[in-house]
Amino acid sequence: MNRPDGADLADRGIRLAPDDQLPDWLAPLVSAIDGAQLPDRFRMLDGATASADARHSAVLMLMGEGARGPDVLLTARASTLRSHPGQPAFPGGRAEPGEDAVATALREANEETGLAPSSVVPAAQLPQLYLRPSHSLVAPVLGFWRAPGPVSAVDPSETAAVARVPVADLVDPANRGRVRLRNGFAGPAFTVADMVVWGFTAGLLDLLLDLGGWAVPWDAARLLRLPADSGIPQ
């Protein structure tokens, strides 16, 4: 598992808990990420294909425990953004000079949702993935929200909405399907928290559900439509 270095985290006031201090429901996911090879469906996003001038970014896949059990923090990007406008996403963004993936993910989550970085325990990190449309190498960081607090959209020009989505809703077959676009893209999608989650974010959610042992059978032939104002041709 690509876990951040403990000394580096300590320098920033961030505590990295040993695996045995993670909640029972999260430990299997962390263990599964340890040395895991990404499935074939991620092959086209292999970070090794990126050129040297690709921008480095990170997203925070933050999992906490809410009233209905484990949940995941998602945002909806503002429709006016140049990159991935209007799309549901994990908090995240471009790295600043000198930042590692953990620092980037926590800073961006704070700027977008008001999340307190000290409330998060970085638990694991997936391999970097290359997003060609934004020419970005993205590091997905898994975090445990050990002390959940209030979150909301800090800047409406960047973030339209923030939601804690229960894993129970994500695995519900009634909320699952696929999105197929005119350009040939086809991938998993979710209808949760008044959002249709698709693309890169839905692919990562699908992977987390599989690795965490939460996934149940769902109808992959069910096609979901994106909202009319998404601007994405289907």
Q: How far apart are CA 104 and CA 201, in angstroms?
A: 17
Mean pLDDT of the chain: 85
- Per residue in 28-38, pLDDT tens? 999 888 767 78
CATH architecture of 6-166: Alpha-Beta Complex (3.90)
Q: Kindly state the tokens that stand for 25.
A: 């429901």
Residue 193 has pLDDT above 60, yes or no: yes
- Per residue in 205-218, pLDDT tens? 999 999 999 999 99
Q: What percent of the chain has pLDDT over 70?
A: 85
- Per residue in 149-191, pLDDT tens? 999 999 887 888 999 999 999 999 999 999 998 777 789 999 9
Domain ranges of the chain: 6-166
Residue 232 has pLDDT above 90, yes or no: no
**Whole-number pLDDT of residue 147:** 94
Rounded mean pLDDT, 70-97: 83
**Whole-number pLDDT of residue 206:** 96
Rounded mean pLDDT, 225-230: 75
**Whole-number pLDDT of residue 73:** 98
Q: Kindly state the tokens that stand for 87.
A: 């799309």
167: nearest Cα among 26, 48, 69:
69
**Whole-number pLDDT of residue 157:** 79
- Per residue in 48-61, pLDDT tens? 777 788 889 999 99
**DSSP conformational letter for 157:** T
**H or E stretch covering 9:** helix 6-11
Q: How far apart are CA 94 and CA 58, in angstroms?
A: 7
Going from the C-alpha of 150 to that of each of 43, 183, 207, the distances in angstroms are: 37, 39, 27
Q: Kindly state the tokens that stand for 213.
A: 């042992």
